Structure 1
Amino acid sequence: MQFRTQIPISKSNSPIDYNSKILSVGSCFAENMAEKFDYFKFQNETNPFGIIFNPVSIEKLFSRVCKEEWFQEKDVFFHNERWHSFEVHSDLSNADRQELLETLNKAISETNKKIKEATHIIITFGTSWIYRNLESAEVTANCHKVPQKKFSKELLPIEVIQKSIQNTIDLIQTLNPNINFIFTISPVRHIKDGFVENQLSKSHLFTALHQVLKIHNSQFTIHNYFPSYEIMMDELRDYRFYNEDMLHPNQIAIDYIWKLFSENYISEESISTMQEVDEIQKSLRHRSFNPESEQHQKFLAKLQQKINLLGEKLPHIKF
């Protein structure tokens, strides 16, 4: 008997392996997946400009990166004793204006290089709702607790999102025409916008993204779509799979979604290496009752031997 429906997932034609170089960008769910990539020691870079939720802000950052348009003094502002940019997350904000500009421009330079070297890029869209700065008329990636009266709140039309996603693909492909795209919609619900408004927001993302994928994939340019939202809403449709806020997937849900991702988007040859890495990670977290004992010293020597053997096969893996 089947007690739940399961989401069918197509296997990737260009799976990720331990030689792959991955760039992950987007909402907080991108960070959840990136933690898994980091744990299993894949070559992964995540959100160099912090968490970004809406497709227009993601496009704007890729435009800066791909064209190497540096941040200047006019692109930052002072608020609550820190310098910020409306184009990036508050994690990058700084008490020193020059330091902020240097950090942002270093991120542009390094991300430009990462895109050129990357084999896969994973983009996670979170919302269609945006805040527009009334003074500049620009879409903001983060409001940095500036009073809400300074912004208008808008729902991006499907056509605007579709064009934005297409522009993002075009920009990235100018630097790296061979890169593999993986798109997903974040399973995190943005209830602050309202329950109906959240559904409307996600539906705009779905419609726009699938229109883009339909055009590309009909031209034999296969861009993959991973159904993380559908897995959360359908296979895991129970509040026991959520954090206490009842909005974000908990660790069980993240582990399950990762399991489905790895089964379909990671090469079969890499699974055994992932198991080796997992064993080492668990051993490194082991705490001995008697660290000086002969038994523990043997355990450490054996563990180091495993690390060395793996390092010989894959030199980029460091513990």
Structure 2
Amino acid sequence: MGQRLVDAKFRCDVNPYGVLYNPFSISAALREIIAGRCYNENDIFLFHELWHSAMHHGSFSSVSAEETLAGINGRLKSAHERLDRLDCLLLTFGSAWVYENKKTGTVVANCHKHPESCFPRRMLSVCEIVSDYTSLLSGLLARIPRLKVLFTVSPIRHVRDGMHANQLSKATLLLAVNQLQATFPEHVFYFPAYELLLDELRDYRFYAEDMVHPSETAIRYVWERFTRSCISADALRIMEESENIRKMLSHKPFYPASEEYKRFLGQIVLKIDQLNGKYPYLDFQKEREICRIRLKA
């Protein structure tokens, strides 16, 4: 969903720590962003020839400690600098199950394939989640009073926990979000992605082959419902114009070097110029670069 918002030209910062699943790791990441934390070599570890952070997705890992830290701190700095311009915060909870470092007792976001014996797991309680986020959101709203927070619960099945444990986990997350809505009624909202897949679509054909992740059809369905319920009519019109440009660029010509195709690329650049003239904040740098490269070919 985050990438779809980026493609639609919303000014977003998607997953500055990579994909996180449990509420405690998500809140810990947000607190570090708010504080403007800077990681050093004491915050990462070497395992299987790669430097990792227990707070970050494996996409940040590298054979070089310097490269790992540069990636982590670069994303942290960018997220921190954008914080006070934040209007809406979208948070997706995946699982209430957490893994704790056996030595320190702290919850980790990623075990990075360490033996399971190093990370005992447990399920967070509703009270733990509500207490943590009540504190977090109170501080955020004091700093950014206009902020709206939209929670979702991921419909992805965490089958490794077992189907019953997965259901208990999802129920815990739903109850916690419900209490947070009651505590912050003017600022906290819920989008029912989980219910749309399980209660409206209600069929395994809407899951991918692994029977765990939603299919492309299901993702499109949830996205359409999201845009209709959460995005203004004006923004939808801009999204449609941006999508038309994206579709034009995805067109594969029979003769890329032909004058006809170059005129077609010129039309795309003109459409970008017209849209940027009306909405200067839209970022079409990537699309302009694609047109430039293809026009030179």
| Higher RCO (C-alpha under 8 Å, 6+ residues apart) | 1
Q: How many residues align?
A: 284
1:302 aligned partner: 267
Q: Distance in 2 between matches of 1:269 and 1:68?
A: 34
Name which of 241, 244, 253 aligns with 1:288. Answer: 253
Please tell me whether the aligned partners of residues 255 and 261 of structure 2 are also in contact (alpha carbons under 8 angstroms).
yes
Q: Distance in 2 between matches of 1:189 and 1:165?
A: 24
Query: Do the aligned partners of residues 98 and 230 (structure 1) sit closer, same or farther apart at CA in structure 2, a change above 3 Å counting?
Result: same
Identical aligned residues as a percent: 35
Once the two structures are TM-superposed, the CA of residue 294 in structure 1 deviates from its matched residue by 4.6
2:47 aligned partner: 79
Once the two structures are TM-superposed, the CA of residue 307 in structure 1 deviates from its matched residue by 1.5
**Post-superposition CA distance 1:241-262 (Å, at most 9, x none):** 1111111111111111111111
Which structure is higher in helix share? Answer: 2
Of stretches 106-115 and 267-276 in structure 1, the one that deviates more from structure 2 is: 106-115
Please tell me whether the aligned partners of residues 165 and 209 of structure 1 are also in contact (alpha carbons under 8 angstroms).
no
Q: Distance in 2 between matches of 1:299 and 1:86?
A: 48
Once the two structures are TM-superposed, the CA of residue 162 in structure 1 deviates from its matched residue by 1.1
Equivalent position amino acid for 1:281 in 2: R
Q: Distance in 1 between matches of 2:219 and 2:229?
A: 16
Of stretches 69-78 and 269-278 in structure 1, the one that deviates more from structure 2 is: 69-78
Unaligned runs of 5+ residues in structure 2 are: 288-297
Please tell me whether the aligned partners of residues 115 and 175 of structure 1 are also in contact (alpha carbons under 8 angstroms).
no
1:23 aligned partner: none
2:118 aligned partner: 150
1:252 aligned partner: 217
Unaligned runs of 5+ residues in structure 1 are: 1-32
Once the two structures are TM-superposed, the CA of residue 68 in structure 1 deviates from its matched residue by 2.5
Once the two structures are TM-superposed, the CA of residue 86 in structure 1 deviates from its matched residue by 1.0
Secondary structure of 2:218's partner? Answer: helix
1:222 aligned partner: 187
Q: Distance in 2 between matches of 1:60 and 1:234?
A: 32
Equivalent position amino acid for 2:59 in 1: D
Once the two structures are TM-superposed, the CA of residue 293 in structure 1 deviates from its matched residue by 4.1
**Post-superposition CA distance 1:200-234 (Å, at most 9, x none):** 000111111111111211xxx23211000000101
Q: Distance in 1 between matches of 2:170 and 2:232?
A: 30
Q: Distance in 1 between matches of 2:83 and 2:126?
A: 27
Q: 1:1-319 counterparts in 2 under 5 A?
A: 33-217=1-185, 221-315=186-280, 316-318=282-284, 319=287
Equivalent position amino acid for 1:317 in 2: D
Give the TM-score normalised by the residue count of structure 1.
0.85
Please tell me whether the aligned partners of residues 59 and 167 of structure 1 are also in contact (alpha carbons under 8 angstroms).
no
Equivalent position amino acid for 1:225 in 2: Y
Taking only aligned residues, the RMSD between alpha carbons, in angstroms, comes to 1.6
Give the TM-score normalised by the residue count of structure 2.
0.91
